[in-house]
């Protein structure tokens, strides 16, 4: 089994009907790639929902519903248009927060002037009493009461962040149950931020860490409790390639990439013919209303005190299916398995399916536990991203041709000879029936496998046989 060479259509039909209709509506008006639209919609739902609910996986782990997306698309694919349409209520909410912050800041500045004036008066009274050797008890009580009335500086809460450092990321999440979203239709701004060169904070937020801390020195400590964070980056291939050249090994090795649903949909440019245009939106207002409702509910709960998130659980039928799907994925991690070269991502794929199932269940206001249908829909979506991750980051991706051919020949030897217990393969039979031809190319690839310790060549009379070496099946 090999990954598709060309990205297949996004599984739009796996989405709940109201979201599938929304995708069709946006695609009809904007004519952007289907995956770009779907990933923007799912990331908006994640950003709006992550502060209100968690999901209890069938493994017993309580996890966030936050999801990370990376959409790879060339300039001109209408990334900005899609982001502007889908994320409009999120940006509007941030604008309203900023306006409210300015009002509160003006009030705070005035209140501080009054407070400082009263503070100076109390200081004068204290100095005078101390100078005249009079009792200062009453003044101290007044001062203590005055200190308690010191105005608190307002805090600007913004959900969407872009060019941000790791320190600023932690500062944005300071407190209890804070929520942010690294979202940009021009991903270069996010990728160039220093927060995208170290990944421990991102990974811990995605994992649902109960507490993060940062020591700023001089006795100042930042404490972050129960943070939530969504990521949605739309980036051009050249920008991503440059980022991967500089930081790709660390991003993959740290496990960060394994926590990201990636997609590089085929271009629609050259096929976006216009025959009619209807300015009326039928399904978008309902989607915007749902996002706005969740954001306002988060603000309301935040104002009331510490947030207690709702916990979503899976139905018994969904749990049974979860176990079956988990075992299917696990089997494909074996040597020569389809997921063997992307084990890091595949190992988290069922958790991602669980998060998406919870998001779809919650946003569409389903009652009770997460249904079997929601899990199946989520897995269809994740399976598409599995193929994309393998196509973009698997061993074959960008590998020299001889390595790809060697992998194919090794897989053929395993499936047609060695796994059945026959630990020898006639060289001529492999040449005539195997995946590598002509003979000159076959010999070159076979020599490569021998040099790598994957196989060794034995002679029986005048016949040559290919035998498994010490490194056969080793990635």
Q: What's the whole-number mean pLDDT along residues 270-281?
A: 85
Is residue 215, in this structure, part of any structural domain at all?
yes
Is residue 421, in this structure, part of any structural domain at all?
yes
Domain identity same for 346 and 417:
no
Domain boundary among 393, 420, 445: 393
Residue 2: pLDDT band (50, 70, 90) is very low
Residue 204: pLDDT band (50, 70, 90) is very high
Is residue 150, in this structure, part of any structural domain at all?
no
User: What is the number of other CB atoms lying within 10 angstroms of the CB of residue 271?
Assistant: 8
Output the pLDDT for position 359. Answer: 98
Is residue 276, in this structure, part of any structural domain at all?
yes
Portion of the chain with pLDDT greater than 90, in percent: 56
Domain identity same for 189 and 72:
yes
Is residue 322, in this structure, part of any structural domain at all?
yes
**403 pLDDT above the threshold of 80:** no
Q: What's the whole-number mean pLDDT along residues 450-458?
A: 89
Residue 245: pLDDT band (50, 70, 90) is confident
Question: Which runs of E-coded beta strand occur in 150-296?
Answer: 160-161, 175-176, 179-184, 211-217, 220-225, 228-235, 261-263
Give the span between the Cα atoms of 69 and 40, in whole angstroms.
8
Output the pLDDT for position 400. Answer: 66
Which DSSP state fits 158? -
Residue 216: pLDDT band (50, 70, 90) is low
**249 pLDDT above the threshold of 90:** no
Domain identity same for 309 and 336:
yes
Domain identity same for 228 and 303:
yes
Q: What's the whole-number mean pLDDT along residues 318-326?
A: 96
**Mean pLDDT across the chain, nearest whole number?**
89
Residue partners of 279: CB distance under 8 A and separation at least 6:
none
Domain boundary among 341, 364, 393: 393
Q: How far apart are the first and last CA of the chain?
A: 17
Output the pLDDT for position 6. Answer: 61
Q: Are 376 and 383 in contact (CB under 8 A)?
A: no
Domain boundary among 372, 393, 414: 393
Number of separate domains in the chain = 2
Output the pLDDT for position 437. Answer: 85
Domain identity same for 348 and 438:
no
Domain identity same for 253 and 322:
yes
The more confident residue out of 220 and 88 is: 88
Is residue 340, in this structure, part of any structural domain at all?
yes
**197 pLDDT above the threshold of 80:** no
Domain identity same for 353 and 288:
yes
For residue 447, the enclosing domain spans 399-468
List pLDDT tens digits, range 375-385: 999 999 999 99
Output the pLDDT for position 218. Answer: 65
Output the pLDDT for position 54. Answer: 97
List pLDDT tens digits, range 132-171: 888 888 888 888 888 888 888 888 889 998 878 888 888 8
Three-class secondary structure of residue 468 per DSSP = strand
Domain identity same for 258 and 337:
yes
Portion of the chain with pLDDT greater than 70, in percent: 96
Domain identity same for 415 and 267:
no
Output the pLDDT for position 84. Answer: 95
CATH of the domain at 235: 3.40.50
CATH of the domain at 435: 1.10.10.10
**274 pLDDT above the threshold of 90:** no
Is residue 382, in this structure, part of any structural domain at all?
yes
Output the pLDDT for position 394. Answer: 82
Q: What's the whole-number mean pLDDT along residues 336-359?
A: 93
Output the pLDDT for position 182. Answer: 92
Q: What's the whole-number mean pLDDT along residues 367-380?
A: 96
φ, ψ for residue 180, nearest 5 deg? -140, 170
């Amino acid at each position: 089994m090999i990954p598709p060479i060309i990205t297949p259509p996004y599984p739009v039909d796996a989405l709940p009907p109201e979201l599938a209709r929304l995708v069709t509506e946006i695609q009809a008006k904007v004519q952007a790639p289907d995956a770009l639209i779907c990933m923007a919609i799912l990331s908006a739902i994640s950003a709006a929902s992550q502060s209100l609910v968690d999901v209890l996986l069938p493994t017993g782990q309580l996890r966030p519903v936050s999801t990370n997306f990376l959409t790879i698309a060339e300039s001109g694919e209408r990334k900005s248009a899609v982001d502007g349409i889908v994320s409009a209520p999120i940006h509007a909410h941030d604008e309203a927060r900023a306006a409210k912050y300015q009002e509160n800041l003006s009030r705070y500045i005035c209140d501080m002037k009054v407070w400082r004036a009263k503070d100076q008066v109390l200081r004068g009274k204290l100095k005078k009493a101390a100078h005249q050797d009079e009792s200062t008890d009453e003044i101290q009580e007044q001062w203590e009461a005055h200190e308690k009335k010191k105005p608190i500086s307002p805090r600007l809460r913004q959900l969407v962040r872009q060019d941000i450092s790791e320190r600023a990321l932690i500062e944005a999440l300071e407190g209890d149950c804070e929520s942010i979203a690294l979202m940009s239709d021009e991903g270069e701004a996010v990728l160039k931020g220093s927060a995208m060169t170290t990944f421990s904070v991102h990974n811990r937020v995605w994992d649902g860490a109960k507490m993060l801390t940062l020591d700023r020195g001089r006795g100042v400590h930042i404490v972050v409790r129960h943070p939530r964070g969504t990521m949605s980056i739309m980036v051009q291939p050249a920008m991503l390639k440059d980022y991967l050249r500089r930081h790709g090994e660390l991003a993959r090795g740290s496990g960060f990439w394994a926590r990201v649903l990636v997609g590089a949909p085929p271009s629609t440019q050259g096929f976006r013919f216009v025959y009619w245009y209807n300015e009326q939106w039928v399904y978008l207002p309902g989607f915007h209303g749902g996002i706005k409702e969740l954001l306002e509910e988060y603000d309301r709960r935040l104002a009331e005190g510490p947030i207690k998130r709702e916990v979503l659980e899976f139905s018994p039928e969904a749990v049974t299916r979860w176990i079956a799907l988990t075992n299917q994925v696990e089997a494909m991690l074996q040597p020569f398995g389809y997921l063997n070269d992307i084990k890091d991502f595949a190992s988290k794929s069922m958790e991602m399916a669980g998060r998406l199932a919870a998001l779809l269940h919650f946003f569409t206001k389903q009652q009770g536990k997460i249904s079997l249908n929601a899990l199946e829909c989520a897995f269809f979506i994740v399976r598409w991203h599995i193929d994309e991750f393998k196509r973009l980051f698997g061993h074959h991706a960008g590998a020299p041709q001889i390595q790809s051919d060697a992998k194919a020949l090794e897989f053929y030897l395993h499936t047609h000879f060695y796994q059945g217990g026959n630990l020898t393969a006639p060289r001529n039979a492999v040449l005539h029936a195997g995946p590598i031809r002509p003979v000159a190319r076959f010999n070159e690839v076979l020599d490569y496998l021998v040099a790598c310790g994957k196989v060794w060549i034995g002679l029986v009379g005048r016949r040559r046989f290919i035998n498994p070496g010490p490194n056969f099946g080793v990635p």
